[in-house]
Structure 1
């Protein structure tokens, strides 16, 4: 078992201005099936629409934002949860000072950076 606090995990740049990620659970800790990430988007920052061949499970922790699949937009806030099926386009935009969410993905080589592997 491993117990940690998210503030003890390094906050890393994502390549998108105003967006950071913390890899809370990854294969580095021994996770073989799933990875858990903590995203923070600063006000008006965004992750553009993209897609992958794996699903996402998301839980909004703080703030408000917009999630889109390119056709529909959903205004979400703390307490909302989402399921993004494999290959569905998805993008995120922060509406408040910070928009923070947990995102769970499968522990697949193509989804996780090399430094998060054991």
Structure 2
């Protein structure tokens, strides 16, 4: 059995994602998680992540700023505390709606072995391996 933990994002290492985004991993299998992982991704002004999908369900909550959530042909403006549910295998992306201020999301994946597949290249990576 793993032990309870308090994670302080300001004290954890952030990993550059490219395109003006950086991620701080939080709960992971390294801590003993068995059914989900999560983290925080910050987007600089005008930043976006590429179209992708996962091998599991995902939920994202906008913590700060203004975002656009693209899923299929739909584009949704998000305000802080708006929360998404994205089924397994559904292509999507998030964009910072501001060219002058940052935005921040909390993401949760429904598997400790979550993967991200980029639509443009077809490359699949383990989410945990990218950020550890």
Task: Give the structure-2-normalised TM-score.
Answer: 0.81
Whether the 8 Å contact between 1:65 and 1:93 is mirrored in structure 2 is: yes
Name the structure 2 match of 1:103: 107
1:1-118 to 2 correspondence within 5 Å? 1-14=4-17, 16-96=18-98, 97-105=101-109, 106-108=111-113, 110-113=126-129, 116=132
- Secondary structure of 2:77's counterpart equals strand
1:11-36 deviation per Cα after TM superposition (whole angstroms, max 9, x unaligned): 1111x221000001111111111111
The CA distance in 1 between the partners of 2:97 and 2:131, in whole Å, is: 31
Q: Is the alpha carbon distance of 1:114 and 1:61 closer, same or farther for their aligned partners in structure 2, counting shifts above 3 Å? A: closer
Structure 1, unpaired ranges of 5+ = none
Structure 2, unpaired ranges of 5+ = 115-125
Name the one with the larger strand percent.
1
Task: Give the structure-1-normalised TM-score.
Answer: 0.90
